[in-house]
Structure 1
Amino acid sequence: MAFQSTEHYIVSPELALAVNAAVTLEKPLLIKGEPGTGKTRLAEELAASLGRQLLTWPIKSTTKAQHGLYEYDAVSRLRDSQLGSDKVHDISNYIRQGKLWQAFVANERPVLLIDEIDKADIEFPNDLLYELDRMAFFVHETGEEIVAAQRPIVIITSNNEKELPDAFLRRCFFHYIRFPDADLLSQIVAVHFPHIQQQLLSVALEVFFELRELPSLKKKPSTSELLDWLKLLLAEDISPEVLHDSQKKGGLMPMFGALLKNEQDVALVEKLAFMARRR
Structure 2
Amino acid sequence: MAFEGTSTYVVTDALRLAVEAAVTLQRPLLVKGEPGTGKTLLAEELARSLDTRLITWHIKSTTKAHQGLYEYDAVSRLRDSQLGVEGVHEVRNYINKGKLWEAFESDERVVLLIDEIDKADIEFPNDLLQELDRMEFYVYETDQTVRARHRPIIVITSNNEKELPDAFLRRCFFHYIDFPDRETLQQIVDVHFPAIAPRLVSQALEVFFDLRQAPGLRKKPSTSELVDWLKLLMADELAQEALYQRDPSKAIPPLAGALIKNEQDTALLERLAFMVRRQNNGPRR
**Does residue 32 of structure 2 align to residue 32 of structure 1?**
yes
SS in 2 for 1:87: coil
Q: Which moved more, 1:96-105 or 1:230-239?
A: 230-239
- Where does residue 108 of structure 1 map in the other structure? 108
In structure 1, the gaps of 5 or more residues are: none
- Where does residue 270 of structure 1 map in the other structure? 270
Q: Which amino acid aligns with 2:269?
A: V
Distance 1:207 1:75, change over 3 A: same
The offset of 1:86, in angstroms, is 2.1
Determine the C-alpha separation between the residues in 1 that align with 2:201 and 2:131. 47
- Where does residue 230 of structure 1 map in the other structure? 230
Q: Is the 8 A contact 1:200 1:239 kept in 2?
A: no
- Where does residue 141 of structure 2 map in the other structure? 141
Q: Which amino acid aligns with 1:122?
A: I
Size of the aligned set, in residue pairs, is: 279
Within-5 A mapping of 1:12-27: 12-27=12-27
RMSD: 1.1
Q: Is the 8 A contact 2:234 2:240 kept in 1?
A: no
SS in 1 for 2:228: helix
1:45-86 residue CA offsets vs partner (Å, 9 max, x unmatched):
100110111100000000000000001111211111111112
Distance 1:61 1:247, change over 3 A: farther
Q: Which amino acid aligns with 1:256?
A: A
Q: Which amino acid aligns with 2:151?
A: R
- Where does residue 221 of structure 1 map in the other structure? 221
Q: Is the 8 A contact 1:199 1:240 kept in 2?
A: no
Determine the C-alpha separation between the residues in 2 that align with 1:38 and 1:56. 15
The percentage of aligned residue pairs carrying the same residue is 67
Q: Which amino acid aligns with 1:47?
A: A
Within-5 A mapping of 1:170-249: 170-238=170-238, 241-249=241-249
The offset of 1:191, in angstroms, is 1.1
SS in 1 for 2:63: coil
Determine the C-alpha separation between the residues in 2 that align with 1:273 and 1:248. 7
- Where does residue 62 of structure 1 map in the other structure? 62
- Where does residue 3 of structure 1 map in the other structure? 3
Determine the C-alpha separation between the residues in 2 that align with 1:43 and 1:213. 29
1:87-116 residue CA offsets vs partner (Å, 9 max, x unmatched):
111000000110000111110111000000
Within-5 A mapping of 1:25-104: 25-104=25-104
Determine the C-alpha separation between the residues in 2 that align with 1:104 and 1:259. 40
SS in 2 for 1:208: helix
Q: Which amino acid aligns with 2:124?
A: F
Q: Is the 8 A contact 1:55 1:111 kept in 2?
A: yes
Distance 1:247 1:90, change over 3 A: farther
Q: Is the 8 A contact 1:207 1:247 kept in 2?
A: no
Q: Which amino acid aligns with 1:120?
A: A
TM-score by length of 2: 0.95
- Where does residue 283 of structure 2 map in the other structure? none
Q: Which amino acid aligns with 2:114?
A: I
SS in 2 for 1:88: coil
SS in 1 for 2:245: helix
SS in 2 for 1:102: helix
Determine the C-alpha separation between the residues in 1 that align with 2:122 and 2:34. 20
Determine the C-alpha separation between the residues in 2 that align with 1:178 and 1:138. 39
SS in 2 for 1:71: strand
The offset of 1:240, in angstroms, is 5.1
Q: Which amino acid aligns with 2:12?
A: S
Q: Is the 8 A contact 2:57 2:68 kept in 1?
A: yes
The offset of 1:250, in angstroms, is 2.9
